Structure formats: structure tokens, C-alpha cells
Structure 1
Amino acid sequence: MTTASPTATSTSRLLGISLAYFVVLLDTTVLTVALPDLRSATGASSAEQQWVVDAYTVTFAAFLLAGGAAADRIGAARVFRRGIAAFGLLSLVCAAAPTAGVLIGLRAVLGVAAAACLPSSLALIAHLHPDPQRRARALGTWAATTGAALAVGPPVGGLLVDLGGWRAVFLVNVPLAALGLALTGRLAGPAPTPGRVGLRPQLAACVVLASVTEGVVAAQPLAVVPAVIGAVLFVRWERRAATPAVPPALLRAPGVAAGLAVGAAVNLVLAGVLFTTTSLLQDDHGLAPLLAGLAFLPLTLPTVIGPPLTARLLAARGARLPVLTGLGLLVAGPALLAAWPAARRTRCSAPGCC
């Protein structure tokens, strides 16, 4: 009987870990193109459509803190396997959701499962590749799935909707999650560290993110009240915690606060553009889901080909120029996109316009 070599086993496990990350990120974009079909099938309002997307991202972001703490204190391998298994099962349940309201609740729980996968996958890669050079290459492979998932999400979502409706975008997660589990096998991770997972700060983070999101979705200024209360409670509980989820020294490190602010701005703009462009392409211009998904490629393909070029620029010129250039493009792109329908209407109202 032959056995797999250590190198082959390590490669298989890295592919399984990366595939799990791919599925988690794919779910942030693949549903976008399916929203018009979801609205037609369930009668979901505009706010409900936004919450179908945002419920996942809100809990995903908020519970990353708990996911990292659980990986440290329960075991990265255990948290990872349970997280990806739950992700596959919950995706199957999402596909059977009878109403938009039920789907929103299921998507929120799905975000918690996703948050269990991400920090634990990083810990597993570090454990599987103790050599710094091999670890750097492994992390590069893992990180490359970010751009791939963002790029293929809308086209794959459009194809799935054309083939089987909005429910198909959840069904695709099930075999992918199962394959990720099969490739990783019975992997071992770093030994757990003592301590407990503080749930109160995680819940406070959920309150903050959910309140801010509701304020944007519903244009409700009063949403700032629970957001402020949640933020105050989060800081208070974190300061009292023996093992805080966010070490204060990390936030005081040079560049960390600015980097977090830039990251938040990038993700906020990207999420808003994806949602509004879907409506523009399918509702206003009548594109089929697959064509609408393909129309997203000019937006998503740069996330695949851009990082290597940005890395070279970063090494040569530092971080300031790439960050300012990226933020400038984030301002210009949505501004031009917002002006396009108005300019088109102006042209078509001219005499002789077809």
C-alpha cells in the first residue's frame, strides 16, 4: 500500500484550507446577481434584499473576533472543521428558505460559521508551514483566493441563477465545503491556549455593525444611538477582559488604525457598488443574470491581477502612493457610474435619438 508523501499531504491540506476561504468569500459576491430573481420569487423589498446580503457580512465581520479567540482556546483544527461543515449545512438550509425574512436570519448564522473558518485557517497554515519562506508562499496561495472569489462570484452567480434560480447560489457551497473538508483530512493544529472566549464584546460588535448598517439601509439617523451604546460597552468589556479579543497594543501600533479605516472604506464602497450595479444592469438595462455577472468582470478582475503589481509598487515607493491612488479610484469610479444613467438619459432625450 502506498501513502502520500508529506509534501503531497501538505499541498492537499493547503488546497483544502484555501478552498474553504474561497467559499466563504464567494458567498459575499455570488448572491448579488441573484437579488432580482430573489425579489421576483419572494417579493422581497429593497431593504430586505440589502439585508440578505448584509446579514452575512455583519455577523462575519463581528464574529471574526470570537473566531480568532475560539481558534486559540479551543483549537484551530477543531474550529476550522466545524466551521466549514456548518457552512455547508447552513448553505443547504438557505437554499430551502421560504421567505426573505427567514433567509436573512439564516444568512446571519451563516456569517458566524464563516467567521469560524477565517482565523483558524491562518493558524493552520502557520502550523503546517513552520519554515518562514514556505509559510510566505503558502499564505500567498491562500491570499490569492481573495481575488479569485471576488472575480468569479458575479459570473458564477449569474450562471447559477440562469440554470436554477436564486436557490442555486447556495447549493453550490455544499459540494465545495465537502471537498474542502476532504482535502484537509484529519489535520492537526497548534495546541490550544488557556482562556475563554468572551461573547459579550462580540455581541456588542454585532450591535454596532448592525445599527450602522440599518442606519445606511433605512436612512435612519436614530440608528446611531444603539451603535454608540454598543461601542461604549465593547470598549468597557474589552478593557476588563483578562484576554481581550483586540489587544490594545495592536491598535496603538503605527499604521494599524489608518489601515483599518482604509479597509473599512474599501469594503463599504465595494459592497454598495455591487448592490446598486446589479439593479442598474438587470432592472434598468434588462440584462440576463449571466450577462450581468460578466459585466462585473471589469470591476472584479483587477482584484486578481492587481495585487502583484501593487506589491512591486509598494516595495519600490512605499504604501502612500498605492493607498492614495486606490482611494482616488474608489471616489472616481462610483462618481462616474452614478453620472452614467443621467448622461444617457440626456443623450436619448435629444431630437432624433432612437
Structure 2
Amino acid sequence: MDTDALPRPGTTGGPSAPATASAPRATAAILALACAAQFMVVLDVSIVNVALPSIRAELHLSSAGQQWIVNAYTLGFAGLLLLGGRLADLVGTKRAFLTGLAAFTVASFAGGLAPGGALLVAARAVQGVGGAVLAPATLTLIMTTFTEPAARTRAMGAWSAVMAAGGAAGAVVGGVLTQYAGWRWVLFVNVPLGAVLLAAALVYVPAATGGGGGLRRLDLPGAATVTAGLTALVYGIIAGETHGWDAPAVWGPVAAAVVLLGAFLAVEARVAHPLVPLAVLRRRTLATANLVVIAIGAAMFSMWFLLSLYLQQVLGYTALQAGLCFLPGALSIIAASRLATRYVGRVGARPLLVGGMTVSAVGFAWLSQVSADGSYATDVAVPFVLATFGTGLAAMPTTMTATSGAAREEAGLASGLVNTSRQVGGALGLAVLGTVASRTTAARLAGHAHDVPAALAAGYGRGLLLAAVCAACAALGGLALPRRTTKP
């Protein structure tokens, strides 16, 4: 990694007091804050999955309404991530961190109180917006605080482990809370955690100045076109699950997204202070790494969703049982992330990425064999651990590669790009793989209407097989990356 090109404490978007950043207690607190906040953001992608049957029953939601509880969060998150990342550069990391965290916490409280589906979906969307500001700020905090290569590798390893484990942990926490406290607590749980993090951030995160001129330098036309374009794209992808891919509700937003994103590129080529300098997008390593992140996001987000439904709707597990079934995956990700942190400096990012996603592809392909008369022990446990271990091995090297070489004023942008790629990949995966699963199930029911469990299992299996294809594409994409992007 080109550490000279990365931000130092006291530069744009980072801590302004080098002495504070160098104190072991302060840096440990900043790392803990960044990891805890990122964990909370990622947790909410999956924590509601095991609660969906309970939410649907209490609020009398349709199948599409149930899916929108997940999709609203993804839509708000993915649509604003690039803008959120740039805000950290322009107004300072501390302001962005506190603003995003406050919005996320308040929206969680409102969602837990929601009396109906519409208000719950709206609260989830605001959660996503808060997460879009908060998530890039967590990575920017690490990039600007830890400037020594070995320290940065360890910090990135911890952040990546927390990020990767958040999906599995969300299912576990969601299952426990749904079973014993009710589904509303999958949202209320963020309130005390958010309050603690806000208080700690006020004390430990140094004030930062952001770029010269702050918001006056914000590329408003670029921000408007890319935010609207990404939102339209994610909305169109999500709509495909409900309306079919040839419906106007799908191709209309997708066509609008193409126009808006084209306008965004035209704006970026002309303005003095672009939101995303086009030179950044032309960097082969960054572009390839973000494409890999998209494929990983599509596979992993879909797996949490499909496996959660398989365990509850086919095997008949309770929310608690389904949640506990994801615990080995969380432990597997953490163990793999620790291995990646230890060896990335010796072997480089590419071998870990390619090897990890190859293992994941094998695990997903094995998972695709789930059946109506199977069990967790025979159909899920071993391939699930393989899939999560491989992803944990690849997560930190991928993020490190995607953010390597970022200039001082681009730390938030690099963070926003990698998070945007992950969320767009997740939205794409959920929509496409969820649609394939639903249509496979419908086709099976057309001929065997009495055998619902078998039809559901066939649909989930087909979706998981496509997740294996996504993981294999990530492994192949990793081969295009440089052999080494880090210094030992």
C-alpha cells in the first residue's frame, strides 16, 4: 500500500491533533468506535431477516411489503453512500460520524414504535440514509488515524472482521430478540448502543476541519445526479422482484438511472471540485476491487436472506433457533479475518482474496443442495461455515485493495466507493436471486401444488447456486488485481 498517499492525522477529514491520534488509549478508543458503529450499520442489514415472519404477521403485510422492510434500508444506504463518503472529506469526519450516528439512532427508535408497515418502511429508509453517512466515516477514521503500515493492517483487519461478521451476528441477535422480546427490539437495540457511541465519539474523536471551504466545495450537481441515479438504479433492481424484469416499473427507473449517471459523469468532467474525480474511476486496481466487492455483496446479502427463510419456512425452526444456526458463521468469519490480518503482509491481498472466494464458491454450491427433508446438520452447517470462512478471508484484503493509494482529500471518497459497491451488490443480489428463488418455487407449485416445502427448498437452492456463481466471479476478478498491494 502506498502509505505516503494516504491521509495523516490533522489532514482533510481526519483528526486534527497528531498528539491525540498517537496516544495508545485514544487510538484504541477510535478503533473501537469505528468498529462498533460499522457493526451496528451492517447488523441492520440482516437483523430483521429472522424477524420478518413476525413483523409480517403483526402488521398484516403482503409478501412485497415484507421484502420492502429489507429493501428500504438498502435503498437509502446505497443511494447516498457516495455523497456520505464525500461529506466526511468536506465537513470533517467527526461531524459526519456524529450526524450519521444520530440519524441512525433516532430512526431506529421511530421504527421500533411504528404502528404500521408504511411508517416502518419509512424509518428503515432513514436508517439507511444515516448509515450512508456513518459507514464511510468509520473507515475514514481508521485510514486517517492509523498511518503506520502494520498498525493500519491490524486496524483494517479488525474493522473488516466486524463488518463481515455483522451479517451473521445480525441473524443471531435478531433471533434472540424476536423470540424473547418481540420483533420491535431488533430496532430498539440500536438506541442504547447509539447513545453510548455518541457520547464516546464526543470525547474521543478529535475535531476535524474537512476540506477547505467545507460544504461550499460540495459538487451539488454531481451529488444530485449520482444520488438520484444510484437510488433509481437500486429501486429498479428491487422492483424486479415484485413486477418482473420486463415491467415499466423496472426498466423505467433503470433507464432513468442510466441517464442520470451519464449526466453525473458529464458534470464531473467539468466542475472544479468534482464529487468523484474521474481519474479515480480510471484506476485499474480501485475499479477492479470495487467490482469484486459488488460480487461478494450479491452473494453474501442473498445468503443471509435465503438461508433465514429456508430454516424457518422449510425446516420449521423458530426465530431463535434460526438465529443460533448463524452463530458458527459469525465465528468462522472472525477466525478467517484474523488469519487474513496475519498473512496479508506476507503473501499480499490477491492470494487471500482469490483463495477465500474460491472456498466460498464451493460452500455456496454445496448449500444449493438444500432439500425439504434435510436438516441443519446435514444440509447447512458445513457448507455454511465454508462460505463464511472464505468470505472472511477475502474481506479485509479486498477493502484494503479498494482503498489503497487514496490521496489525503479522497479518504472519504474511497470509503464511500467501497461501501457503495457492497450495498449495490447486495441490492442487486437480493433482487435477482430473490426473484429467481420465487419464480422457481412458483414453477414447482404449478405442477405440485401440495408440496410447498419442496417447492420452497428448490427456489432457495436455485438462489444459492447463483450466489456460488457470484462468489466464483469475485475469485476470477481477484486474479486481475496486482500481486501485492501491501508492504510487509
For the aligned pair, the TM-score class normalised by the smaller chain equals 0.7 to 0.9
Question: Which of 243, 246, 259 is 2:289 aligned to?
Answer: 259
Match status 1:339 vs 2:357: no
Aligned counterpart, 1:309? 339
Contact persistence 1:80–1:117 (CA under 8 A): yes
How far is the alpha carbon of 1:91 from its aligned partner? 0.3
Match status 1:210 vs 2:273: no
Aligned counterpart, 2:309? 279
Question: Which of 157, 169, 192 is 1:140 aligned to?
Answer: 157
For structure 1, which segment, 298-307 or 158-167, has the greater mean C-alpha deviation from structure 2 after superposition? 298-307
Aligned counterpart, 1:40? 57
Question: Which of 203, 206, 218 is 1:188 aligned to?
Answer: 206
**Aligned residue type for 1:282:** Q
Alpha-carbon distance in structure 1 between the residues aligned to 2:174 and 2:131: 19
1:1-354 equivalences under 5 Å are 6-186=23-203, 187-193=205-211, 194=213, 195-198=217-220, 199-200=223-224, 201-222=226-247, 223-241=250-268, 242=271, 243-310=273-340, 321-341=351-371, 344=374
Change (3 A) 1:219 1:332: farther
Aligned counterpart, 1:351? none
Summarize deviations over 1:132-184 as a string: whole Å, max 9, x none.
Answer: 54444333333332134233211111110011211010011011111111222
Contact persistence 1:147–1:301 (CA under 8 A): no
Change (3 A) 1:142 1:204: same
Alpha-carbon distance in structure 2 between the residues aligned to 1:230 and 1:106: 24
For structure 1, which segment, 21-30 or 168-177, has the greater mean C-alpha deviation from structure 2 after superposition? 21-30
How far is the alpha carbon of 1:287 from its aligned partner? 1.0
**Aligned residue type for 2:78:** A
Alpha-carbon distance in structure 2 between the residues aligned to 1:332 and 1:6: 44
Alpha-carbon distance in structure 1 between the residues aligned to 2:32 and 2:364: 35
How far is the alpha carbon of 1:94 from its aligned partner? 0.5
Q: Which runs of 5+ in 2 are unaligned?
A: 1-21, 375-450, 455-488
Contact persistence 1:64–1:116 (CA under 8 A): yes
Contact persistence 2:154–2:341 (CA under 8 A): no
Contact persistence 1:123–1:189 (CA under 8 A): no
How far is the alpha carbon of 1:259 from its aligned partner? 2.2
Alpha-carbon distance in structure 2 between the residues aligned to 1:325 and 1:130: 28
Alpha-carbon distance in structure 1 between the residues aligned to 2:89 and 2:184: 35
Aligned counterpart, 2:390? none
Q: Which runs of 5+ in 1 are unaligned?
A: 349-354
Summarize deviations over 1:224-258 as a string: whole Å, max 9, x none.
Answer: 34213213322322331323333322222123333
Contact persistence 1:76–1:124 (CA under 8 A): yes
For structure 1, which segment, 195-204 or 321-330, has the greater mean C-alpha deviation from structure 2 after superposition? 321-330
**Aligned residue type for 2:309:** S
Contact persistence 2:160–2:337 (CA under 8 A): no
Summarize deviations over 1:296-317 as a string: whole Å, max 9, x none.
Answer: 2344433212223345676666
Change (3 A) 1:221 1:320: farther
Alpha-carbon distance in structure 1 between the residues aligned to 2:289 and 2:145: 28
Equivalent residues, number: 342
For structure 1, which segment, 82-91 or 193-202, has the greater mean C-alpha deviation from structure 2 after superposition? 193-202
Contact persistence 2:172–2:324 (CA under 8 A): yes
Alpha-carbon distance in structure 2 between the residues aligned to 1:297 and 1:135: 28
For structure 1, which segment, 318-327 or 63-72, has the greater mean C-alpha deviation from structure 2 after superposition? 318-327
Alpha-carbon distance in structure 2 between the residues aligned to 1:138 and 1:324: 22
For structure 1, which segment, 305-314 or 158-167, has the greater mean C-alpha deviation from structure 2 after superposition? 305-314
Summarize deviations over 1:79-120 as a string: whole Å, max 9, x none.
Answer: 111111111111000101122232122211110100111222
TM-score by length of 2: 0.64
Alpha-carbon distance in structure 2 between the residues aligned to 1:252 and 1:118: 24
Alpha-carbon distance in structure 1 between the residues aligned to 2:344 and 2:93: 32
Contact persistence 1:20–1:117 (CA under 8 A): yes
For structure 1, which segment, 284-293 or 217-226, has the greater mean C-alpha deviation from structure 2 after superposition? 217-226
How far is the alpha carbon of 1:211 from its aligned partner? 0.8
Change (3 A) 1:124 1:320: closer
**Aligned residue type for 1:288:** T
How far is the alpha carbon of 1:123 from its aligned partner? 2.8
For structure 1, which segment, 46-55 or 298-307, has the greater mean C-alpha deviation from structure 2 after superposition? 298-307
Summarize deviations over 1:1-49 as a string: whole Å, max 9, x none.
Answer: xxxx943233223322321111111111211111111111112222222
